[in-house]
Amino acid sequence: MATIKDVAREAGVSVGTVSKVINNIPVKPATKAMVENAIKKLNYEPDVYARGFKMNRTNSVAVILPTIWNPFFSELAYNIEKNLSSFGMKMILCNSEDNQSSELEYITMAKQNKVDGIIAITYSDIDKYVSTNIPIISIDRYFSDSITYVSSDNLTGGKLAAEELVKSGCKNIAYIGRGSKINNATRNRKKGFVGYCEENNISYKVCDSLGSSKEFDSILNNFLIDNFKNNIKIDGIFTITDEYARDVIKRLREFNIKVPDDVQIIGYDGSRSSAKDTIEISTIRQPIELIAKESVSSLIDLIDKKEVEKEIVLPVKFIKGYTTK
Amino acid sequence: MATIKDVAREAGVSVGTVSKVINNIPVKPATKAMVENAIKKLNYEPDVYARGFKMNRTNSVAVILPTIWNPFFSELAYNIEKNLSSFGMKMILCNSEDNQSSELEYITMAKQNKVDGIIAITYSDIDKYVSTNIPIISIDRYFSDSITYVSSDNLTGGKLAAEELVKSGCKNIAYIGRGSKINNATRNRKKGFVGYCEENNISYKVCDSLGSSKEFDSILNNFLIDNFKNNIKIDGIFTITDEYARDVIKRLREFNIKVPDDVQIIGYDGSRSSAKDTIEISTIRQPIELIAKESVSSLIDLIDKKEVEKEIVLPVKFIKGYTTK
C-alpha cells in the first residue's frame, strides 16, 4: 500500500507538504493539485488513525450502558451510533453492568485521549472521577452543575401517568419502582406521580426501595400480596419502566388478576425490541431518537470546546397499549 | 499529567528504557525497579493509544451487524463485548443496516490497522473486498474457503423443527422465510426442514423468496390467505427466525387462527430481549453465548497469526414455548 513518502516522492514535494494537504492546511494551489494527483494515482489512503494520534482526535466516542441486551438501551445505542456515524465518528460500546471499574476504565481512556468523549448511562458512584476536563454527556443522571445531562421529562411523565390512570377510571393508584441511591433523573417519575395525586386528592400507594434488586423483589412480592391476594385494593399502577410493568403483569397472573379489567398498568420508556416491534403496554414514551440526537450533538459541541446547555430535558408522551382501558 | 519523559527523568534513565519496561521488554532488574517506582510516584498512565499506534495494535475490534436494535443481535453483541473485554479489547459497533458502504468503511479501517479485526454479520455482496489479509470472522455467512465462519447448526436446526412439529401431531407442515441471494448459512434451515420431510414422506409446503422484504410481504400474505382463510390446510409452521414467527402469529390473528390449537409454530434463534426476558415462542435456540465466545477467540487467534478452523458449527436445541402443544 502507498505511504505518505511515496506520495511525496511522486508529487516531488516534502512529506510535510503532503501532510498539510491531507490536513487541509493551505498550500499553493499548484502544489495542492500535484499532491492530490499523486494521492489519486497511487490510490493512497491517509491513515486517519495516525492523524487522530497527531491531532489528538480519535473520532471515536465511548458509549457506556448498563447492558446493550435490553430493548431500551439497544434502541438508544442504535440511534446514538447512527448520529455519531453522520459526524464520521465511531461508537465504542461498553456494557458496564453497573460495574464501576469498567466505567472508570473508559473515563481513563477519555482522559488519555483514546476516545474523544463519553456518553454514559451509569448508576454507580463515579462522581469524583468525572471532571469537566473530559467531554462527557450523562443520560438520566445528574453529576454536578458543570456536567451536561440529557433526560426525558421524567417529572411530567410521572404526572401524566397518574392523570391517564385517573382519566381511565382508576380510584386507588400505586407507584412501583426500585429507586437508586445516586441522583438519578428517573427519581422524578415518582415525584411527578406523587405530586399529581396530592394536588388532586387521589388515593395512592408507593412501593419502592433504595436497596438491592433482591431486596426489592421481596418488597414487591409482599406489596402485591397485600393489595391483590384476598381482595383488590388497587385499580391502577404506574411502574418506573416497561420492564417492571411486564414483571408486575406476570406476577399478577399468579393471583388471577386481569389487566386491564382488574387493574390498569402504565409503564415508562416505550422502547421496542426492534423497529418491527409494536408497543403493547400502555406507556410514557421517552423520545429515544431525540435523546440520542441531542446527546451526540451536545457531546460534539463539548469536544469542539463550545458552550453547551447543562440540562437538556426532552418531552414525553402517553401511548395507549392493551394495559389501560 | 506525567509524561514518559517525566518518568525517565525521575528514574534517571532514557525514554527508551522506560518504553521497554512498559512494553515488557527485558531490562536489568534494578533498572526495572527504578522505572516502576517512578511510574508509581508520578502516577503515570502509559498511553495505550500511542502504544497501539507503534505496535500496530489498537486493541479494538469492529463488530458489524445489520442493526443492534434487535433482540438476537443485541444479545449477541452483549456477549461479544463481554468476551472482547476479557481480552482487554474494545468493541466498535456498527449498524450496517445492510448498507454496503458502511461495511466497506470498516473493512478499510481494518486494512489501515485502525481496528485489529472484524466480526461481521453481513448480507450484502462484499466478497471481493474481503481478503485473508485482514483478520475477519463471519457469522452465518460463507465467503470463501479461506475465511472463517461461525454459525449455529442450521441444517440440524431445520430438521429438528420438522421433527418436533411431527412429534406434536402435525401432518401438513410449512416452511416460511425470506432467503438471501448471498451464500448465507441460514439457507440450511430450509434445507434441513425439507430434507427431513422428504426422507420421512411428510407433506410440506414452502413459502420463500429471494426478493426484497416488500415482495416477500405480499408473497407471505397470499400464502396465508391460501392456506388459512377458508379452511386450514396447514397445522404446523417452521419460520426462519423468531421474528418471522411473531409476525406470522400476528397475521394469523386476523383470520382468527389460534396458536397452538389450530396451527403450531416453531421459530429459530431463541434470543430474549433482555436477560430477564423468557422465551415464549417454541424455537430452535442458537447457542448465542458460544457463538460470541468462539467468534472472539478465533478472531484473536487470527490477529495473532495462528491457525484457525475455517468452519465452526455450533449445536442447537429445541426449546418448548407456548406455540407448540
Q: Are β-strands B90-95 and A90-95 bridged in parallel, bridged antiparallel, or unpaired?
A: antiparallel
Q: Of A310, A297, A268, give the one whose Cα is nearest residue A82.
A: A297
Round to whole Å and give the CA distance between A108 and A281.
40
The grid coordinates listed for A132 are 469537566
Round to whole Å and give the CA distance between B89 and B119.
13
The grid coordinates listed for A89 are 465518528
Whole-number Cα distances in Å, A203 to A189, A196, A234, A245, B119: 17, 11, 10, 20, 54
* Cβ contact, residue pair A114, B47, below 8 Å: yes
pLDDT exceeds cutoff 50 at B51: no
Measured between CA atoms, the residue of chain B closest to residue A70 is: B274
Using CB atoms, pick whichever of A93, A109, A243 lies closest to residue B81: A93
Give the model's pLDDT for residue A264. 98
Give the model's pLDDT for residue A262. 96
Torsion of CA B107, B110, B115, B118, to 10 degrees: 50
Tens-digit pLDDT profile for residues B245-255: 999 999 999 99
**B48, B61, B74: best to mutate for the A interface, most A CBs within 10 A:** B74
* Cβ contact, residue pair B70, A70, below 8 Å: no
* Cβ contact, residue pair B53, A48, below 8 Å: no
Q: How many beta-carbon pairs under 8 angstroms link A with B?
A: 114
Are A175 and A219 in contact by the 8 Å Cβ rule? The answer is no
Give the model's pLDDT for residue B277. 86
Residue given cell 463481554 in the structure block = B82
Round to whole Å and give the CA distance between A170 and B74.
37
Q: What is the mean pLDDT of chain B?
A: 89
Whole-number Cα distances in Å, B151 to A72, B178, B190, B275: 27, 18, 15, 22
- The count of residues in chain A is 325
User: What is the SS3 assignment for B271?
Assistant: coil
Give the model's pLDDT for residue A132. 63
Using CB atoms, pick whichever of A68, A85, A108 lies closest to residue B68: A68
The grid coordinates listed for A207 are 412501593
* Region of A201 on the Ramachandran plot (φ > 0 left; ψ -120 to 50 alpha; else beta): left
Strand order across the beta sheet in which A149-152 lies: A311-314, A149-152, A136-139, A117-120, A60-65, A90-95, B90-95, B60-65, B117-120, B136-139, B149-152, B311-314
Are B210 and B203 in contact by the 8 Å Cβ rule? The answer is no
Round to whole Å and give the CA distance between B167 and B303.
46
ipTM of the complex: 0.79
Strand partners of residue A285: A269, A317
Q: Are β-strands B283-285 and B317-319 bridged in parallel, bridged antiparallel, or unpaired?
A: antiparallel
Strand partners of residue B91: A93, B61
Whole-number Cα distances in Å, A199 to B50, B121, B304: 59, 54, 66
Residues with pLDDT less than 50, chain A: 48-54
* Cβ contact, residue pair A70, B274, below 8 Å: yes
Strand partners of residue A27: none
Round to whole Å and give the CA distance between B124 and B64.
12
Give the model's pLDDT for residue A51. 43
Which chain A residues are within 8 Å of B60, Cβ to Cβ? 92
Using CB atoms, pick whichever of A71, A95, A112 lies closest to residue B78: A95
Tens-digit pLDDT profile for residues B165-192: 999 999 999 999 998 777 678 889 999 9
Are A207 and A174 in contact by the 8 Å Cβ rule? The answer is yes
**Distance, C-alpha B114 to centroid of its chain:** 22
In the structure, what pLDDT confidence band is assigned to residue B54 with cuts at 50, 70 and 90? very low
Using CB atoms, pick whichever of A47, A69, A114 lies closest to residue B112: A47
* Average pLDDT of span B296-316: 93
Residue A187 corresponds to which amino acid? R
Using CB atoms, pick whichever of A81, A93, A274 lies closest to residue B70: A274
Which chain A residues are within 8 Å of B274, Cβ to Cβ? 67, 69-71, 243
Residue given cell 439457507 in the structure block = B187
Please tell me which residue, B305 or B190, carries the higher pLDDT value: B190
Looking at the complex, report in whole angstroms how far the Cα of residue B60 sits from the nearest Cα belonging to chain A. 9
Q: Going from the N-terminus, what domains does chain A have, and what CATH number goes with each?
A: 4-46 (1.10.260.40), 60-152+288-315 (3.40.50.2300), 154-286 (3.40.50.2300)
Measured between CA atoms, the residue of chain B closest to residue A48 is: B114
Which chain A residues are within 8 Å of B93, Cβ to Cβ? 77, 81, 91-93
Residue given cell 502504544 in the structure block = B51
* Cβ contact, residue pair A68, B45, below 8 Å: no
Are A148 and A154 in contact by the 8 Å Cβ rule? The answer is no
Give the model's pLDDT for residue A212. 86
**B68, B86, B112, B242: best to mutate for the A interface, most A CBs within 10 A:** B68
* Region of A172 on the Ramachandran plot (φ > 0 left; ψ -120 to 50 alpha; else beta): beta
